[in-house]
Structure 1
């Protein structure tokens, strides 16, 4: 039986990866933080460690065929930032994988990262990717367009009565459900591809997304389009006026929202169904 070690297992994507690899007959070990809640994980084994402390990882990768890391933070809290987690924690995982002669290492990155390296969250991930690509290990980089869970922000705005968009709302995205992405990652890693951009089966403009939210809520669409110059001004001011935990994710979403985030389609799950499930978990 092949063995996979999944870091970031309690996150949105990590849980689906555990499910997928177990369903495909792999022995799954999940790496979780000591302070995390890790019930209901589909894992044969759970290892509690802090990836930011390299000493806590010593020897944990013995006899594994594959390490997959989804490690990363959205909000900088608990005294750690993007360079502590998105970069250094992943470097610690990579170095331990190299010491243990793991055959393959896969990392979940960000689509269009080369256009967003001025964003701290992306810069830290991109620096790790460069290190991984030059390491003496077979690697796969996965760059998803965006998760269904990220699209819930549009739904929250619609629930508040209005969706606010910058520009003309015509930038496109084909977000993907975590289960579909996990399946696509399995296939991509299994094929040995060095890099894959992956999106979902439906492509939306931002205006389409807003309208879909109101449709699911059975409300008349109320959308306000703000001038894009306002977005650019906010980006310049963010780091000086907003707390670090808010400035980081805002910089990413304001930057990514100004470009098309589309990639080859994969999966079959529909965003409207996901929204309906959020509104009614029994749906």
Structure 2
């Protein structure tokens, strides 16, 4: 039986990765910061360590055939920066994988990162990818367009009565469900794919996503478009007037909103079904 070592296992995507590799017959070792809090994770083995501390990783990957990392931070907490986690923690994982003789290292990146190198969150990820691709270990980089969970702001705005867009709302994205993305990751590593830009089965414009949010809530659509200059101005102003934990993810969101984010179509789960389930759960609560 082959062994996969999954970093970021307790995150949104990480949990789907653990389930998907187990479904495919892999022995799953999950890296966690607190084993007691991760007791519900369906992994075969939990290893408690801090990826930001290279000494704590010593021996953690012995016997592993594959490492899959979805490790990263969206909101900066505990004084950690993107460079500390998205770059350095993954670099520590790569160093240990090389020492342990792991056969392949897979990393979940961001689609279109080459167009967002001035965004700190993306720059840290891209710096690691650059190191990974220069290393001697065979690598698979998976670059998703965005998760269904990233679309939550559209649904939240619709609940409040109005969705605000930038420009004409014609930029497109095909977000993907975590389970479908985990399947795409597993298929890519099984096939030895070196790079995969991937998204969900439906390509939607921002305006279509806004209208879909109102449809799911069974409310009349109220969508207002702001001049794209507002988005560009916010990118300049936010770093000056908000703390890093606020403007970091906002920079990424605002930059991504200004371009198409479309990857190869994968999976079958739709945003409408995902949101309908969410809306039903909220209504029941």
TM-score normalised to the size of structure 2?
0.97
Counterpart of 1:237 in structure 2 is: 237
Once residues 281 and 30 of structure 1 are traced to their aligned partners in structure 2, the CA distance between those partners, rounded to angstroms, is 29
Q: Secondary structure at the match of 1:102?
A: coil
Once residues 57 and 263 of structure 2 are traced to their aligned partners in structure 1, the CA distance between those partners, rounded to angstroms, is 34
Counterpart of 1:104 in structure 2 is: 104
Q: Secondary structure at the match of 1:281?
A: helix
Counterpart of 2:48 in structure 1 is: 48
Once residues 36 and 154 of structure 2 are traced to their aligned partners in structure 1, the CA distance between those partners, rounded to angstroms, is 27
Q: Is the 8 A contact 1:34 1:50 kept in 2?
A: no
Counterpart of 2:26 in structure 1 is: 26
Structure 1, unaligned runs of 5 or more = none
Q: Is the 8 A contact 1:163 1:222 kept in 2?
A: yes
Counterpart of 2:85 in structure 1 is: 85
| Displacement after TM superposition at 1:280 (Å) | 2.1
Once residues 36 and 11 of structure 2 are traced to their aligned partners in structure 1, the CA distance between those partners, rounded to angstroms, is 10
Q: Is the 8 A contact 2:9 2:31 kept in 1?
A: yes
Counterpart of 1:198 in structure 2 is: 198
| Displacement after TM superposition at 1:277 (Å) | 1.3
Counterpart of 1:160 in structure 2 is: 160
| Displacement after TM superposition at 1:35 (Å) | 8.3
Counterpart of 2:221 in structure 1 is: 221
Counterpart of 1:188 in structure 2 is: 188
Counterpart of 2:139 in structure 1 is: 139
Structure 1 moving runs of 4+ over 4 Å: none
Structure 1's 143 and 187: CA in aligned 2 closer, same or farther, altered over 3 A? same
C-alpha RMSD over aligned residues: 1.3
Counterpart of 1:9 in structure 2 is: 9
Q: Is the 8 A contact 2:57 2:96 kept in 1?
A: yes
Structure 2, unaligned runs of 5 or more = none
| Displacement after TM superposition at 1:48 (Å) | 1.4
| Displacement after TM superposition at 1:243 (Å) | 1.0
| Displacement after TM superposition at 1:41 (Å) | 1.3
Q: Is the 8 A contact 1:3 1:63 kept in 2?
A: yes
Once residues 112 and 275 of structure 2 are traced to their aligned partners in structure 1, the CA distance between those partners, rounded to angstroms, is 26
Q: Does residue 246 of structure 1 match 2:246? A: yes
